[in-house]
Amino acid sequence: MRRVLVVDDSATMRRMVMAALRSLDDLTFDQAVSGLEAIERITLEPVDLVVLDLNMPDVHGLEVLRFMRGHDSLKHVPVLVLTTRGDEPSRRAAMAEGATQFMTKPFTPESLAPEVERLLASGAM
């Protein structure tokens, strides 16, 4: 089973992401409601992919990316940034910090699922 961590402070958005990905085979989901919780979870248990919001109440998504890319055991994990911030500076900042892909909300299952499958198949940044 491939493990996907969905990080968003909105419970509704986490449910929407997981529902959009349910059609993919062999996935299990874990959730984090904050950047700090995401760091704790990925440190304690390996993941195959992180779907990460940027705007969170404690640790910003860019800080989570910075943390992941600074640790040998995490730097290879693909990170799909999924955020409401669709401006070019936000996209550039996320990519510069090591995001593998950048998508904006709202999203459709038809756009999210194939992208997640592609990232899982690639297995690395």
**Cα-based distances in Å from 17 to 2, 46, 98:** 16, 20, 21
Paired tokens of 43: 């440190």
Contact 4, 29 (CB under 8 A): yes
Average pLDDT rounded to a whole number, residues 10-36: 96
Q: How many domains does the chain have?
A: 1
pLDDT score of 125: 44
pLDDT score of 65: 97
Q: Indicate the SS3 state at residue 91.
A: helix
The CATH number for 75's domain is: 3.40.50.2300
Distance CA 71, CA 82 (A): 22
Average pLDDT rounded to a whole number, residues 23-40: 96
Which pLDDT band, with edges at 50, 70 and 90, does 123 fall under?
low
Domain that holds residue 9: 2-122
pTM above 0.85, yes or no: yes
pLDDT tens across 84-116, in order? 998 999 999 999 999 999 999 999 999 999 999
Distance CA 44, CA 105 (A): 29
pLDDT tens across 55-76, in order? 998 999 999 999 999 999 999 9
Mean pLDDT of all residues belonging to the chain: 94
